[in-house]
Structure 1
């Protein structure tokens, strides 16, 4: 496994491999790897000749500096995990390598995709995400890039960015990987204390129950149910719950268009922010 920190060196290497007919699968991460990340790497290995994983905690996508400081990081452990999967390249640059003074300034227009949910609650977050993914795809010109559906809004925004910038790559959305008790796998889970970790699966349980009653409920009734359910747990505080069209992410006002509706939730356990989603219809 090759560990690379220089973006131009990596780009040259990958371009040579592509010239030889090799296909490249890319998994961008911020490290603190778990089985969810590893499932993406396995898929990249399965579908391509070469698998590249980036590990970079991107400072520009954190609107809360405390969140950046507290974000878990263990590069040595991450590298050992990737070695066990026979990953071909790990790209682990410093911030100064990814953000140079003479880099081109990129601008995006995501329209309604960023108007609600994470776009509303984390100002500037998606500009930071799109910028770093754009940079990574420039230096890792892969055939396919793999992203989890837990960050569903991010997935659609990255697809939009690729379309806007005419990048020749397939963005592959992969199903959420969960713990045995239903909690969506996340690097942030490691920050939960014992009581919070015991409580955390209640998020998924609430979403499943909400889906059960959605058939015969109004949006208002579903929102009240989720709010009461989450806030009844002393460890939890609901930040938001929204119902949106799965393709446009427009917040819906009725449950008539049943084929593409998803529920999106963010819950705070102490200062740990957990997200999840579920397809309703």
Structure 2
């Protein structure tokens, strides 16, 4: 009788290194020679399944032999005077565990003094007109802060790919435009939004919602889905279907609902056809939420 074959061994788990300085990050990320492919996922921490999807996409892109870095940095430049910088959740130990489970090699979690060693930077990138609409109108200077830190982190991590979530659609569009306009040698990759079973888009800010507020927040995704379902009938029908849901919703303080041409991130014309972003932002209680869906308007 043939001897049974031993069970196949499970692949060895990837050990993620936590670093806090640029020197330590570089030593951990490129221990020998630069790999053929490497990628970065930039976050502000409080990682959830949406971030895990980004890390897994990065791992898939670079392969088992490539390198994946996750940055965890709550960037003060992108918070306004009345926003939640101090309130923003810091969960580094849990973040490292999730990064490791999702396939990251290195987590870079610097202090503010490491990223901005000379204090608040006197020279900053500006998002220009693309950064003054929608989110930028409500949060002046926000995207300037985003671009400044993204540019710095791209220089530090020097990736072939950088992965960002499509939930922050305007941020993704502006970063893609920065890379194109300023000749950064990196490919920016958008990853589709991850949602709860009931449609709520995953966000680090969801933890601020009470049970009742979370139920109220579902009106955002319901409105966007209603607009998506009307896409074959043109822009006016998309806007009307989404607005009807929001008008009937309780507990939402709507900031904007917009059908957006993604090329320059401007409001789509009444005769627009093609791929568009239907986006909304609202406060639920004291928590500001954003969401969007990508649709094809006929």
**TM-score (norm: length of structure 1):** 0.90
Q: Which residue number in structure 2 is paired with residue 269 of structure 1?
A: 284
Q: 1:262 to 1:94 in 2, by over 3 A?
A: same
Aligned equivalent of 1:150, options 167, 174, 179: 167
Aligned equivalent of 2:255, options 239, 245, 250: 239
Structure 1 residues without counterparts, runs of 5 or longer: none
Q: Which residue number in structure 2 is paired with residue 41 of structure 1?
A: 55
Deviation at residue 230 of structure 1 after TM alignment = 2.0
- RMSD between superposed Cα atoms in Å: 2.2
Taking the aligned partners of 2:268 and 2:284, their CA distance within structure 1 comes to 27
Aligned equivalent of 1:31, options 17, 29, 45: 45
Q: Which residue number in structure 2 is paired with residue 59 of structure 1?
A: 76
Quick check: 1:130–1:158 contact (8 Å CA) kept in 2? yes
Quick check: 1:231–1:237 contact (8 Å CA) kept in 2? no
Taking the aligned partners of 2:205 and 2:67, their CA distance within structure 1 comes to 29
Larger RCO (CA under 8 A, 6+ residues apart) = 1
Deviation at residue 258 of structure 1 after TM alignment = 1.3
Quick check: 1:11–1:141 contact (8 Å CA) kept in 2? no
- SS of the residue corresponding to residue 142 of structure 1 reads coil
Taking the aligned partners of 2:30 and 2:176, their CA distance within structure 1 comes to 23
Displacement over 3 Å in runs of 4+: 11-17, 19-22, 102-112, 213-219, 221-228
Aligned equivalent of 1:132, options 149, 169, 172: 149
| Greater C-alpha radius of gyration | 2
> Aligned pair count?
278
Deviation at residue 15 of structure 1 after TM alignment = 5.2
Q: Which residue number in structure 2 is paired with residue 177 of structure 1?
A: 194
Higher helix share: 1
Deviation at residue 253 of structure 1 after TM alignment = 3.1
| Pairing 1:199–2:216 present | yes
More displaced 10-residue stretch of structure 1: 223-232 or 121-130: 223-232
Deviation at residue 259 of structure 1 after TM alignment = 0.6
Deviation at residue 115 of structure 1 after TM alignment = 3.0
Taking the aligned partners of 1:175 and 1:25, their CA distance within structure 2 comes to 17
Taking the aligned partners of 1:20 and 1:97, their CA distance within structure 2 comes to 23
Deviation at residue 72 of structure 1 after TM alignment = 1.7
- SS of the residue corresponding to residue 208 of structure 1 reads helix
Q: Which residue number in structure 1 is paired with residue 293 of structure 2?
A: 278
Deviation at residue 63 of structure 1 after TM alignment = 1.3
Counterparts of 1:82-161 in structure 2, within 5 Å, are 82-101=99-118, 106-161=123-178
Q: 1:73 to 1:251 in 2, by over 3 A?
A: same
Taking the aligned partners of 2:184 and 2:122, their CA distance within structure 1 comes to 16
Taking the aligned partners of 1:264 and 1:157, their CA distance within structure 2 comes to 15
Deviation at residue 113 of structure 1 after TM alignment = 1.6
**TM-score (norm: length of structure 2):** 0.86
Quick check: 1:263–1:279 contact (8 Å CA) kept in 2? yes
Deviation at residue 156 of structure 1 after TM alignment = 1.2
